[in-house]
């Protein structure tokens, strides 16, 4: 649970600088989030999560050095309370299932951003009164 007196701390990872900036800008616009780290690959996302201990990691599925699925698996082993959302340009039920099996809490198609992202964030933080 995220304490009421602070913003949701987020690490965002995407190998596309344009997508990374867009996601960070949208989150900052929402006002409920503090971007504590960014990464351009899955391995860097792991390091950022270890360093900053965020409440949420948002990451692209397809990244160099370590995919979002691989990173989600590692993150889940290390951080049980961390919320993890994977976003991608791909879609499909089997891909969504693979993301959830890897340890991610949710999946967002980039074509549904930014609305789909906020829907998933609200869903995974459903018990946080600030997100109701």
Read off the pLDDT of residues 82-120 as tens digits, 9 standing for 90 and up: 999 998 876 665 677 777 788 899 888 888 888 888 888
Q: What is the CATH number of the domain that holds 103?
A: 3.40.50.2300
> pLDDT, tens digit, for every residue of 20-51?
999 999 999 888 899 999 999 999 999 999 99
Residue 15, pLDDT above cutoff 60: yes
Question: What pLDDT is recorded for position 11?
Answer: 98
In a domain, 2, yes or no: no
Report d(CA 130, CA 132) in Å as an integer. 6
Domain that holds residue 124: 8-131
Q: Above 80 in pLDDT, residue 4? A: no
What's the total number of domains in the chain?
1
Q: Is the pLDDT of residue 19 over 80?
A: yes
Would you say residue 1 lies in a domain? no
Q: Does the residue 53 lie in any domain?
A: yes
In a domain, 3, yes or no: no
Q: What was the pLDDT predicted at 100? A: 76
Whether 112 is covered by a domain: the verdict is: yes
- Does any domain span residue 75? yes
Q: What is the pTM of this model?
A: 0.87
Q: Is there a cis peptide before residue 26, judged by omega within 30 degrees of 0?
A: no
What pLDDT does 128 receive?
60
């Amino acid at each position: 649970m995220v304490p009421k007196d602070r913003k949701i701390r987020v690490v965002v990872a995407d190998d596309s600088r344009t997508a990374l900036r867009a996601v960070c800008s949208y989150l900052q616009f929402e006002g409920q989030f503090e971007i504590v780290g960014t990464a351009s690959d899955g391995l860097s996302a792991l390091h950022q999560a270890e360093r900053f201990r965020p409440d949420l990691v948002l990451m692209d599925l397809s990244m160099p050095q370590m995919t979002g699925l691989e990173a989600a698996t590692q993150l889940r082993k290390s951080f049980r309370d961390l919320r993890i959302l994977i976003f991608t340009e791909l879609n499909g039920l089997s891909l969504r299932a693979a993301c959830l099996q890897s340890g991610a809490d949710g999946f967002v198609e980039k074509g549904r951003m930014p609305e789909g992202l906020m829907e998933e964030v609200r869903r995974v933080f459903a018990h946080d009164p600030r997100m109701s």
